[in-house]
Amino acid sequence: MMDDNVQMINGVRYLSQRENSFSTSYVELRKKEGRLLTDEEVSNLPDTDISNPNRNEWVLRKRSTLRFIKYLKAKDRSLSVLDVGCGNGWFSHKMAFASKGISVVGLDINEMELEQAVRVFNSHNTEFVYGDLFEIGDIFNDRFDIITLNASVQYFKDLDKLFSLLKRFLRNKGEIHIIDSPFYNETEIDAARERTQDYYTKMGFPEMGIHYFHHSHDCVKEFKAMYRPPAKIIRRVFRLKDSPFLWLRYIDQDNS
Ligand SMILES: C[S@@+](CC[C@H](N)C(=O)[O-])C[C@H]1O[C@@H](n2cnc3c(N)ncnc32)[C@H](O)[C@@H]1O
């Protein structure tokens, strides 16, 4: 799909220099959390078996996945998609087969899971690339109809900088979607940051705290909510099994 002359290792195309300061701790933490799955388990996501320690979370994530795949299907036309922070590629794969004519580039900086993505989901319309978005130059400019950030936006510090870059990657009327990611009211951020740092410290990876960011609703003012979860109390009382996170969409109006 991509014709740029760049390095390829184990099926992953490298668009920027490798750097390990984030991914080494990130992968070790994932292992401890039970989030590194076998190829077979990854191939079934978002479905998991009963032994998966994060099964409850996947039940909720399945709902947001189905909602988004239905949305893509309804477009009923060929689409070029970029999945930012694709991890092991399960969501890229779901999108690639939502309907005919969709092609997906999954991008991440976590080599281990990118290689797993290639192993498990290798197909004519899916490509997995390693790249720091801010280091890859202009090869993605005007290239995508849809860009997704599924559970990954919280790993980017400066959302203004991120969104202005991603907007350059969009074709006219292209869209950016944020799925399964928390946003906070200003007054909640300090406490959330503290909880996250406590969690990382308890897990033995205090250094991960500098890679995880708590963004306010203000950062996504340009986005429209496509799904708004019911209040926590309602979800609890009615035992609703659906994502506790907003689904957010930005549509580019004029990319010329
Ligand atoms: C929680 S995982 C989400 C993976 C997948 N999208 C999903 O929904 O399960 C977050 C992913 O974001 C990736 N990530 C973090 N910072 C990144 C960056 N600067 N560029 C690309 N990916 C990044 C991580 O390596 C990780 O794979």
What does 86-113 look like in DSSP terms, one character per residue? -TTSHHHHHHHTTSTTEEEEEEES-HHH
Amino acid 160: pLDDT: 98
* Ligand 1 geometric centre to CA of 19 (Å): 14
- pLDDT of the residue at 20: 83
- Taking only the tens place, the pLDDT of each residue in 116-127 is 999 999 999 999
Output the residue whose Cα is nearest ligand 1's atom 27: 87
CA of 4 to the centre of ligand 1 (A): 23
Residue range 169-205, pLDDT digits in tens: 999 999 999 999 999 999 999 999 999 999 999 999 9
Task: Report the nearest atom of ligand 1 relative to the CA of 45.
Answer: 9
Side chain identity, residue 45? L
Contact (CB, 8 A) for 6 and 107: no
Ranges under pLDDT 50 in the chain:
1-3, 255-256
Give the model's pLDDT for residue 110.
Answer: 95
* pLDDT, position 65: 98
The domain 8-43+54-251 having CATH identifier 1.10.10.10: the answer here is: no
| Cα-to-centroid distance, 151 and ligand 1 (Å) | 7
Ligand 1, pocket residues at CB < 6 Å? 26, 84-87, 91, 107-110, 113, 132-133, 150-152, 155
For the chain, the domains span: 8-43+54-251
pLDDT of residue 51: 94
- d(CA 238, ligand 1 centre) in Å: 32
